[in-house]
C-alpha cells in the first residue's frame, strides 16, 4: 500500500504535486474492499470501529480508507476509530482519569532539518491553554523508568528514535537517551505506575520508508503492548513523522477534550478541525517544493497517527 501511495519513500521529500496526485486512493480502495464489503450507508449503523491489527496491518491507516465501496469519504468522517493490541482490551477499563491530570510536555532536541520556529511553537502551543503543564526540555527529574511515575498524561514532542534496535530499546522520554534507565524495557520494572495517557507524535516506523527497510508490524505491537502493560490506557504513536504546525495543532486539540470524552472521540474531533485548515509547506518538515499552503484534508497530515485505547468514557465512569 505504501509503495503504491508513492508519498513516503524519502523523508522530507513529499512535493505539492505528489499531494495533488492522490495516488493513494486506488490502493486504499483495494484494501477496504478486501477487508469489508460494506456500502457507505451501512456505516450509518455504527458509531465506532475497533481494530485489532495483525502484522503489517499495524501500518495501515484505517482512518483514511473509504467509508464504503465507491465512497471518497474517509472512514474517520463516519465513525471514531481506535486500535487495541488484544481483543480483550476492546472493552473499557474502570480507571478514572484525574480531573486535573498531572501533565508533562517533553520537548527534547528538534531534528536538524526542522525549522527553528517549530520548537518554540511546540513549547507554547502543543497543549491547550489553561492546562497546567510541566515542561521537560534539557533534563529529567531522574531516569525515565522513575520519572514517568510523576505524571498522569505524557506528551513527547521530541524526535523519538527509530525502534530498529528492538521494540523495547528506544527511549520514550528522548532527553536521557543512551543513559541507564532510559529505554522502554526499563518501564517493565516495578512499580507499574506509568501515565494513563501517552502520546509520541514523532515516533518513527517502517511506514516512513514504504516498508522497504523491513517492518512486520510486530515492532509496533510490542511497543504498544509494553506501554499498556506499564500502566497506559491510551497510546498515540506516529507511523511517520510530520513534525510541523499540523502536528502541534493536532496535539493541542486532541488534549483539549481528552479526559472529558473518549480518546477516540477526542482524536476524531481534532482531525476534523485540522481538515478545515491550510498549512504552510515551509513549516511542515515532511513537505517541500512549494511555498503554497497545503490543505489539511489530505491524509498525510492526519492518517499517520495510530490511536490505541481501551475505550473508557470519562462521563460514564463518573456516574
- Residue 7: pLDDT band with limits 50, 70, 90: very low
pLDDT over 80 at 146, yes or no = yes
pLDDT at 294: 87
The answer to whether 12 touches 288, Cβ cutoff 8 Å, is: yes
- 154, pLDDT greater than 90: yes
Mean pLDDT, rounded, of the chain: 86
* Per-residue pLDDT band at 243 (split at 50, 70, 90): confident
Query: Can you tell me the distance from the alpha carbon of 260 to that of 316, in angstroms, rounded to the nearest whole number?
Result: 10
Q: Give the integer Cα–Cα distance in Å for 83 and 114.
A: 30
Q: What is the pTM of this model?
A: 0.91
Find residue 81's DSSP bridge partners: 49
The average pLDDT across 161-173 equals: 80
pLDDT of residue 17: 72
Q: What is the 3-state secondary structure (H, E, C) of the chain?
A: CHHHHCCCCCCCCEEHHHHHHCCCHHHHHHHHHHHCCCCHHHHHHCCEEEECCCHHHHHCCHHHCECCCCCCCEHHHCCEEEECCCHHHHCCCCCCCCCCCCEEEECCCCCCCCCHHHHHHHHHHCCCCCCCEEEECCCCCCCHHHHHHHCCEEEECCCCCCCCCCCCCCCCCCCCCCCCCCCHHHHHCCCCCCCCEEEECCCCCHHHHCCCCCCCCHHHHHHHHHHHHCCCCEEEEECCCCCCHHHHHHHHHHHHHECCECHHHHHHHHHHHHCCCEEEHHHCCCEECCCCEEECCCHHHCCCEEEEECCCCHHHHCC
Residues in the chain: 319
Q: What is the pLDDT of residues 182-235, one digit of tens each?
A: 999 999 887 778 899 999 999 988 887 777 777 788 989 999 999 999 989 999
Mean local confidence (pLDDT), 156-170: 81
Distance CA 156, CA 109 (A): 11
The pLDDT score that the predictor gives to residue 256 is: 93
Residue 44 has pLDDT above 50, yes or no: yes
What is the band of 265 on the pLDDT scale with cuts at 50, 70, 90? Answer: very high
Q: What is the pLDDT of residue 267?
A: 97
- Lowest mean pLDDT of 15-19, 27-31, 90-94, 261-265, name the range: 15-19
23 pLDDT band, cuts 50/70/90, is confident
- Percent above pLDDT 90 for the chain: 44
Distance from C-alpha of 211 to C-alpha of 213, rounded to nearest angstrom: 5
Q: What is the pLDDT of residues 253-263, one digit of tens each?
A: 999 999 889 99
Mean pLDDT of 297-315: 91
Parse the chain into domains and list their residue ranges: 2-90, 103-317
Helix (H, G, I), strand (E, B) or coil at 46: coil
Q: Is the predicted pLDDT of residue 59 greater than 80, yes or no?
A: yes
Question: In this structure, are residues 272 and 78 in contact, taking their beta carbons and an 8 Å threshold?
Answer: no
How much is the pLDDT for 164? Answer: 64
pLDDT of residue 2: 44
Check residue 281 and give its pLDDT.
87
Choose between 11 and 103: higher pLDDT. 103
Task: Please state, in angstroms and rounded to a whole number, the distance separating the CA atoms of residues 78 and 65.
Answer: 11
pLDDT of residue 5: 40
* pLDDT for 181 beyond 60: yes
pLDDT at 318: 67
Phi and psi of 176, rounded to 5°? -100, 30
Under DSSP, is residue 18 helix (H, G, I), strand (E, B) or coil? helix
Tell me, what's the pLDDT at 290?
Answer: 66
pLDDT tens-digit map of 80-125: 999 999 999 998 888 777 778 899 999 977 666 777 888 889 989 9
Amino acid at each position: 500500500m505504501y509503495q503504491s501511495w508513492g508519498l513516503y519513500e524519502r523523508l522530507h521529500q513529499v512535493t505539492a504535486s505528489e499531494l495533488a496526485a492522490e495516488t493513494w486512493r486506488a490502493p486504499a480502495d483495494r484494501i477496504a474492499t478486501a477487508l469489508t464489503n460494506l456500502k457507505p450507508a451501512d456505516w450509518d449503523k455504527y458509531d465506532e470501529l475497533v481494530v485489532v491489527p495483525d502484522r503489517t496491518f499495524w501500518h495501515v491507516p484505517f482512518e483514511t480508507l473509504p467509508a464504503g465501496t465507491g465512497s471518497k469519504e474517509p472512514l474517520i468522517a463516519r465513525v471514531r476509530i481506535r486500535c487495541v493490541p488484544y481483543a480483550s482490551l476492546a472493552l473499557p477499563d474502570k480507571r478514572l482519569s484525574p480531573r486535573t491530570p498531572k501533565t508533562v510536555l517533553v520537548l527534547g532536541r528538534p531534528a536538524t532539518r526542522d525549522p527553528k520556529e517549530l520548537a518554540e511553537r511546540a513549547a507554547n502551543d502543543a497543549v491547550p491553554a489553561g492546562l497546567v503543564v510541566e515542561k521537560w526540555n534539557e533534563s529529567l527529574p531522574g531516569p525515565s523508568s522513575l520519572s514517568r511515575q510523576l505524571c498522569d498524561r505524557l506528551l513527547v514532542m521530541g524526535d523519538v528514535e527509530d525502534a530498529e534496535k528492538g521494540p523495547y530499546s528506544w527511549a520514550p522520554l528522548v532527553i536521557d537517551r543512551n543513559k541507564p534507565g532510559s529505554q522502554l524495557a526499563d518501564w517493565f520494572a516495578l512499580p507499574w505506575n506509568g501515565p494513563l495517557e501517552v502520546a509520541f507524535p514523532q515516533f518513527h516506523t517502517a511506514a516512513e520508508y514504504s516498508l522497504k527497510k523491513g517492518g512486520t508490524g510486530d515492532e509496533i505491537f510490542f511497543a504498544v503492548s509494553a506501554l499498556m502493560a506499564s500502566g497506559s490506557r491510551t497510546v498515540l504513536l506516529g507511523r511517520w513523522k510530520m513534525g510541523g504546525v499540523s502536528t502541534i495543532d493536532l496535539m493541542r486539540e486532541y488534549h483539549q477534550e481528552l479526559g472529558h470524552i473518549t480518546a477516540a472521540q477526542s482524536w476524531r474531533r481534532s482531525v476534523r478541525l485540522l481538515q478545515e485548515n491550510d498549512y504552510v509547506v515551509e513549516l511542515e518538515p515532511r513537505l517541500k517544493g512549494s511555498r503554497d499552503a497545503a490543505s489539511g484534508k489530505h491524509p498525510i497530515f492526519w492518517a499517520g497517527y495510530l490511536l490505541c485505547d481501551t475505550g473508557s468514557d470519562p462521563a460514564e465512569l463518573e456516574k
